[in-house]
Every structure is written in structure tokens, then in C-alpha cells.
A = this chain, B = another copy of it.
């Protein structure tokens, strides 16, 4: 093998992501992680200093993986109106949460928020990710207010938070198998449009 470094480390991180997402942090045993990866339990603690350390590593790579993708999306030039960009961003968010289901399941863990209360790095990562999403919605809204597609009277930041919270709620419904979110997609878009659009277009 060419690469001597960290042969099993990545495997462990990947399996831990899978298990933490499916069963939760507390209900995932190191023994299970060991069985799944084929690594001895000792190996896991050779690479990571603790179970919590694994969780933090996942968050770290989650941030490194997702934030750039969102920055790229945000900086891509677009011919669309701000209102259309809000719709696009919703689609993009739903697509992202579907294609990285495990990562977003981890973001919805209670443990993440408990850890955030004592661990500044954890809190910083969570905030960075959420703020990034809300920022994208906000700049779509202010853009829309400039181009006339979105009502200039509404407060951009707060509305961005509300749109984000709507979409985030849908994602959680999907994760909990409560409702068929696909069936709600069109109505979600329509609702956001009614919420934001400028009614006396120039």
C-alpha cells in the first residue's frame, strides 16, 4: 500500500458517522464500531482520544465538507430574480440534506447541542453551518428586494430565519418518517413565494 498513514482511521470515521446518525451517539457502542470496521477497539482509541473525540472529528469534517460546497453555491452567478433564488436555495438545501443524510442526522442530535454548551469548537461549528444557510437565504431576499421580486417592506434577516426554519422542519419530518415531504414540496415553495413576493410590482 502506498499510503502508510491512517489506513483504518477514515474507515472508523465513516462507520461512526453511519452509526451515530442511525442509532444516536449514546446508543452506539465502541464494540459495535469495532466489529463494523474490523478494527480492534484499541485501534479506535489509538486514532481518537475518546468517543467524544470521534464525534468532534465528524463535526469537523462535516464542516470542511459542506461549507465550501455552500460557499461555491452562494458565489455562483445567477440570472434569476431573488424570489427565484429563494426557491432554488430551498431545492438545494433539500438536495444536500438528502445526499448527506447521515451528516444532517448528526446535526439534529441532542448530543450535539449538549456538547456545544461546554465545548466552544462544537458550538462554533454548529453556528457556522446554520449561519451559512441563513446567510444564503438572506442574500437571496435582499437581492429580491433590490430587483423588485420581493416585498421591500419585510425584514430580510428574520424572514430568512423563518424560511430556513420551514425547510429545516420539513427535513426533520422526513427523517422521523412522519410525513411524506415529497408531497409537500410544491406547497412549500408556493407558500414561501406568497410569503415573500412583491405585490405591487413595478
- Can you tell how many copies of this chain the complex includes? 2
Cα A14 to Cα B13 with chains together (Å): 39
Cα A154 to Cα B172 with chains together (Å): 24
The answer, yes or no, to whether A110 is at the interface (CB within 8 Å) is: yes
Which residues of chain A (43-92) have a CB below 8 Å from chain B? none
Instruction: List B contacts of A170 (CB < 8 A).
Output: 165
Which residues of chain A (124-144) have a CB below 8 Å from chain B? 130
Interface residues of A, dominant DSSP: helix
Which residues of chain A (117-169) have a CB below 8 Å from chain B? 117, 130, 151, 154-155, 158-159, 161-162, 165-166, 168-169
Cα A196 to Cα B190 with chains together (Å): 11
Cα A169 to Cα B190 with chains together (Å): 19
B113 touches A110 (CB 8 A): no
The answer, yes or no, to whether A96 is at the interface (CB within 8 Å) is: no
The answer, yes or no, to whether A195 is at the interface (CB within 8 Å) is: yes
Instruction: List B contacts of A158 (CB < 8 A).
Output: 183-184, 187
Instruction: List B contacts of A161 (CB < 8 A).
Output: 179, 184
A162 touches B176 (CB 8 A): no
The answer, yes or no, to whether A35 is at the interface (CB within 8 Å) is: no
Cα A154 to Cα B191 with chains together (Å): 9
Instruction: List B contacts of A162 (CB < 8 A).
Output: 166, 184, 187-188, 191
Q: Can you spell out 14 A-B residue pairs with CB atoms less than 8 angstroms apart? A: A24-B26, A109-B110, A113-B177, A155-B187, A158-B187, A161-B179, A162-B166, A162-B184, A165-B166, A168-B169, A194-B194, A194-B195, A194-B196, A199-B199
